[in-house]
């Protein structure tokens, strides 16, 4: 699995990079969900994040996905991922950093390598 810390370096306003990011996030969540089920017996729905556009509904789905993963792994809820304006470079940088850190937290708790 790709190291989630690399998400923090995805360039702003690069459509190809964003599409790659979206697909990577969905793939990571599939691996985390499978591992979480093996660890806890708790299944949760994987949302179609791989075709997202970074709009408000995509951010809300991403937030819901992280909340479901955290709950399945008996972790505290994630930080807010849904209120960023990804059109702004500084908010993009903050978003990708927070996202990478939460994916690391979920990955580690699930034991995914």
Q: What is the domain partition of the chain in residue ranges?
A: 15-110
pLDDT at 53: 79
Q: What proportion of the chain, given as a percentage, has pLDDT over 90?
A: 92
pLDDT at 83: 96
pLDDT at 7: 96
Among 2, 1, 7, 22, smallest CA distance to 101 is for 7
pLDDT at 86: 95
For 58-78, the pLDDT digits (tens) are: 999 999 999 999 999 999 999
Among 103, 84, 99, 105, smallest CA distance to 10 is for 99
CA 2 to chain centre: 12
- pTM of this structure: 0.95
- With vertex at residue 25, the alpha carbon angle to CA 23 and CA 31, rounded to the nearest 5 degrees, is 105
pLDDT at 51: 79
Query: Which segments in the chain show pLDDT lower than 70?
Result: none
């Amino acid at each position: 699995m790709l190291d989630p810390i690399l998400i923090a370096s995805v360039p702003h306003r690069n459509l190809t990079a964003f599409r790659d990011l979206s697909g990577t996030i969905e793939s990571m969540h599939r691996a985390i969900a499978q591992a979480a089920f093996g660890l806890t017996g708790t299944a949760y729905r994987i949302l179609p994040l791989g075709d997202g556009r970074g709009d408000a509904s995509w951010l809300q789905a991403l937030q819901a996905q992280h909340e479901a993963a955290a709950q399945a792994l008996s972790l505290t809820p994630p930080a807010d991922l849904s209120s960023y304006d990804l059109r702004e470079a500084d908010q993009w940088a903050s978003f990708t950093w927070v996202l990478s850190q939460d994916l690391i937290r979920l990955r580690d708790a699930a034991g995914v390598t």
